[in-house]
Structure 1
Amino acid sequence: MQAKKISAHIWNLKTWMIIPIHVWVVVDKEGITLVDAGMPMMTKGIMNFMEQLNAGPIQRILLTHGHSDHVGAVKGILKKYEVPVYAHQIEIPYMEGQVVYPNRKKLENNIPKTVTTPLLEDDLKNLKKIGELTPYFTPGHSPGHVVYYHEQDQVLLAGDLFTSKKGKLKQPMSAFTADMRQAVASASIIGQLKPKQLEVCHGNTVFQPSDQLEEYIKTKERKLGGH
């Protein structure tokens, strides 16, 4: 597993399983927030890295969504650390195996029941900031997908909202995306936030991603057609 510091407060941990898989370690004055939890084989590496970083205790695990390649290390981490795990309330029934993910054939028991806490909302249904990260609801790849924005570092941790290649925005993987049209609509978050850099689970960093947004949406809408 490779570790790379990508901004003042954020580290990127990467492994390969045919494609790259990234998780993120975010440091603040209270300690560490882990964003996504990769595959089970990453568990030891993630915990070793957090301990060696010596940036305080892990405070929480935030999930962009509940697919198996994003939650794999949760069980192992919780055996050692009693920390809350957060995801969007819409996502929780799917990842706990109560409801079948769209376009899937069977239930996925990706995370034990009662482990995950819904992200908090304000009176206007906006997701509340947690640590130094603000979640934004970006459904499409999965029903309850969210991204996390680090305002100070101007970094958007985008999970599977996109993939990327050679610094270019690419669509999420079709085979695992519940609603591609909705995922493309959710891409507008980068126009709203205008982050300096975008990080995805499967791909490399995209700098100034909002510069690519108009072309990305036009291309994808043309490809999707009127269906």
Structure 2
Amino acid sequence: MIKKTNANYFQVAQGVWGMKLTFVNIYMIANRRGVKKGWVLIDTGPKGSAHKIIAMAEALFGVGTRPTAIILTHGHTDHVGSLKTLLKHWDVPVYAHEYELPYLTGKSSYPPPDPTVGGGAISFFSVLFSRKPLKLGNRVRVIDMATGVPELPEWKIIYTPGHSPGHISLFFPLNTTLIVGDAFVTTKAESPVYALGNIKKLSGPPMYATTDWESAKESVTRLAALEPRIAGTGHGPVMRGRELQAALNELVENFDDVAVPKNGRYSEQPVISDETGVLYVPPFKTNRKFVAATIITGLVAGFIIARQIHKSVS
């Protein structure tokens, strides 16, 4: 039984709405045309978010509504955490890119996050994020990249790998709206202050979980070439107009300097994967900043534990 709650959402563009769930965004898109009119859900947020998503849907489209489909930009846990719960409530098809299927059908785990990239505490604690695949079986369908998703015919599906092997973004040519996933973001995803506070800062994909930086750069370049006027990203607030285009062009021009971590595990050598999953992961390498952060974190954690023990015995 899913407990209902009040919806708290924002409008991205005409027929497009989003909702921030802790530090990640999900989106709902109304389908204006085609045989299957209705609406489509983009990503499902972290685990435990299903009741909020259902409340948002019913506030927008009416009690008892359900999407015609769920489209996944990629399968990282913060974007698919509530998927299984939602599928118990809604019997609808799920779409993803072919290269993302291994992580949605139990065939492969994602490569390890990289806690050495810096940028904030979220990077350091990314080692705790789940890498286990979902086991959706035949519930998930491969997106036909030539024709797109039939439940959302006016939107183009764009292959934007780098952050994950089968990452996709969505583009609506009529008003040049992008739903980007994590191909780029509009906050500093590595920093809890920025990510939780929804502070605006157009950035590359979250560094701690990006495993192919050359592909990530090509993907951002591809999206910038579309000259979008609206962008809804997986992390951060909506960006629009000249602010978006200027920031996106600046990111493309300076991608290697501002987006790629200097000493990251995947900075010089990417993960190798195909439609079966991960084939090769570069060896882990540490650096002084990471060692220092580990020591400091350990000391702080030890102090907190010791204090709690002292309180319990005094």
Match 1:90 to one of 95, 99, 102: 99
SS class of match (1:187): helix
**What value does the CA root-mean-square deviation take over the aligned residues?**
2.4
* Farther off after superposition, 80-89 or 54-63: 54-63
Structure 2 distance, partners of 1:8, 1:197, is 11
Gaps of 5+ in 1: none
Q: Give unmatched runs, 5+ long, in structure 2.
A: 1-6, 114-126, 188-198, 269-314
Q: Could you tell which deviates more after superposition, 149-158 or 61-70? A: 149-158
Q: Quick one: which amino acid aligns to residue 15 of structure 1?
A: L
- Conservation of the 8 A alpha-carbon contact between 2:104 and 2:134: yes
Q: Report Cα offsets for 1:14-71 as digits up to 9, x if no partner.
A: 121xxx2100011124111000110121101111221222266410000000111111
**How many angstroms apart in 1 are the aligned matches of 2:145 and 2:157?**
10
Secondary structure of residue in 2 paired with 1:41: coil
Name whichever of 49-58 and 65-74 sits farther off: 49-58
Matched, 1:59 2:105: no
Cα separation, 2, equivalents of 1:135 and 1:39: 23
Equivalent pair of 1:190/1:210 in contact (CA under 8 Å): no
SS for the counterpart of 1:93 is helix
| 2:26 is equivalent to residue 23 of structure 1 | yes
| Partner SS, residue 183 of structure 1 | helix
| CA distance in 1: counterparts of 2:200 and 2:176, whole angstroms | 17
Given the alignment, which residue of 184, 188, 212 partners 2:247? 212
Residue 7 (structure 1) aligns with: 13
Quote the offset at 1:167 in angstroms. Answer: 4.4
1:136 aligns to 2:158 (yes or no): yes
Greater relative contact order (Cα < 8 A, sep 6+): 2
Give 1:212's aligned amino acid.
A
- Structure with more of its chain in helix, by fraction: 2
1:41 is aligned, of 37, 44, 48, to: 48
Name the structure with the higher strand share.
1
Deviation of 1:129 after TM superposition, in Å, equals 4.9
C-alpha contact (below 8 Å) 1:66/1:94 kept by paired residues: yes
Deviations 1:59-117 (A, max 9, x none): 00000001111112211221122110000011111233312323459962234222210
Which residue matches 2:256?
221
Instruction: State the percentage of identical aligned residues.
Output: 27
What TM-score, normalized by structure 1, do the two folds share? 0.86
CA contact (8 A) 2:145 2:157 kept: no
TM-score relative to the length of structure 2: 0.64
Which is greater in Rg? 2
Q: Whole-Å Cα distance in 1 between the matches of residues 75 and 103 of structure 2?
A: 7
Matched, 1:188 2:216: no
Answer whether contact 2:184 2:233 (CA < 8 A) is retained. yes
For 2:238, give the aligned amino acid: T
**How many equivalent pairs are there?**
220
